[in-house]
Amino acid sequence: MVKKIILTGDRPTGKLHIGHYVGSLKNRVELQNSGEYETFIMIADIQALTDNARDPEKIRRSLIQVALDYLAVGIDPEKSTILVQSQIPALSELTEHYANLVTVSRLNRNPTVKTEIKQKKFGQSVPVGFAMYPISQAADITAFKATTVPVGDDQEPMLEQTREIVRSFNSIYKQNILVEPEGYFPPKGMGRIPGLDGNAKMSKSLGNAIYLSDDADTIKSKIMSMYTDPDHVHVEDPGKVEGNTVFTYLDIFDHDKAKVADLKAQYQHGGLGDVKIKLYLNDVMQAFLQPIRDRYNQYAKDIPSVYEILKKGSAHANEVANQTLKEVRDAIGINYFG
Ligand code: TRP
């Protein structure tokens, strides 16, 4: 049986929030704990720099932030390798070899990149590094011969690009060195959480996120400000639960499904106030986030030990990626000196 390997990662551009948790962190922790995979988790600082070259300090700060968030949600350095992209030079050389197998027009068709180019308002000034980050991401995935990539569904175009590169490489150089990865996505309807304001996307730039490291008071005041049903003016009015952010969060985070069904019925009937359901959601979210925050604070007390985890993980990752690079060079026939 072929060993199953996970590679996944995040750009370090800020703190991670509960949208990241339901979109992919939860899956990663479960897969890691299943014991069926060798797991690599990458902090993709090179990819983050593709649109932040002028602000490396932000990336440097976010690197440790993301590492703390990983450890806080239960990514366990004894079970998973946590690595830093920029510390693995083989990835850059793989990117160059793969870049020769991809056309500029194919890159420009990538829907995720297209959307990001609009969001980031590059205009005519898209950095080459940004435009080609899907190639660099293919290097990330294939360097570890990943079979399985647990990510949010917005990453599917990256996986498709990676599979195309793998197929081209294996067919041109007639060696089955590289592995085609599969995505691993959250169950339908569970992978996306709206922002506090009801916007479909939770994000830092929209200012509508609950962060994994938020303290108890911040979480409470964010929940009390949440979007509900704008037409539910008086407590006795019947309220809507569809599109009501409080109920969407309860559906995702409350294990007591009978209780949620009961609250929904009461709310629809009328007589259940927004403050009540928000206070209940607050209890649910605090119970979920407190152990995460406790672990976060524990690690945050000893930042040098977190850098040590990253250093050890990157050293192991270098061994694996260097071996793949050697095989790739052999296949291309450029290992001139043995
Ligand atoms: N593109 C991912 C993001 O936007 C980060 C990332 C970089 C990644 N390399 C990866 C994800 C490899 C999965 C596999 O957060």
Which regions of the chain carry the CATH code 3.40.50.620?
A: 5-192+303-332
CA pair distance 251, 260, nearest whole angstrom = 7
Q: Whose CA is nearest to atom 3 of ligand 1?
A: 10
Contact 216, 290 (CB under 8 A): yes
Distance, first Cα to last Cα, the chain? 31
Percent of the chain with pLDDT over 90: 91
Helix (H) / strand (E) element for 46: namely helix 45-49
Q: How many CB atoms lie within 10 A of CB 318?
A: 17
Task: Answer with the residue of higher pLDDT: 2 or 233.
Answer: 233
Give 168-195 pLDDT, tens digit per residue.
Answer: 999 999 888 999 999 999 888 778 899 9
Cβ–ligand 1 distance for 10 under 6 Å, the answer yes
What is the mean predicted confidence (pLDDT) over 113-138? 93
Does the structural domain 216-297 have CATH classification 1.10.240.10? yes
CA pair distance 232, 169, nearest whole angstrom = 58
pLDDT higher than 60, residue 1: no
What is the pLDDT at residue 190? 78
Cβ–ligand 1 distance for 44 under 6 Å, the answer yes
Distance 43 CA to ligand 1 centre (A): 8
Helix (H) / strand (E) element for 10: namely strand 4-10
The contacts of residue 206 (CB under 8 Å, 6+ apart) are 195, 197, 199
What is the mean predicted confidence (pLDDT) over 277-287? 97
What is the pLDDT at residue 124? 87
Give 64-98 pLDDT, tens digit per residue.
Answer: 999 999 999 999 999 999 999 999 999 999 999 99
What is the pLDDT at residue 2? 60
What is the mean predicted confidence (pLDDT) over 26-55? 96
Q: Whose CA is nearest to atom 8 of ligand 1?
A: 9
Which regions of the chain carry the CATH code 1.10.240.10?
A: 216-297
- The ligand 1 atom at the shortest distance from the C-alpha of residue 140 is 12
Of the candidates 145, 180, 159, the one whose C-alpha atom is nearest the C-alpha of residue 317 is 145
> CATH top-level class for 5-192+303-332?
alpha beta
Distance 311 CA to ligand 1 centre (A): 20
What is the mean predicted confidence (pLDDT) over 9-33? 95
Cβ–ligand 1 distance for 88 under 6 Å, the answer no
Distance 105 CA to ligand 1 centre (A): 22
CA pair distance 75, 12, nearest whole angstrom = 16
What is the pLDDT at residue 192? 87
Cβ–ligand 1 distance for 151 under 6 Å, the answer yes
What is the mean predicted confidence (pLDDT) over 148-167? 95
- The ligand 1 atom at the shortest distance from the C-alpha of residue 11 is 15
What is the mean predicted confidence (pLDDT) over 118-135? 93
CA 335 to chain CA mean position, Å: 36
pLDDT band at 30 (very low <50, low <70, confident <90, very high): very high
Q: What average pLDDT does the chain have?
A: 95
What is the mean predicted confidence (pLDDT) over 141-160? 95
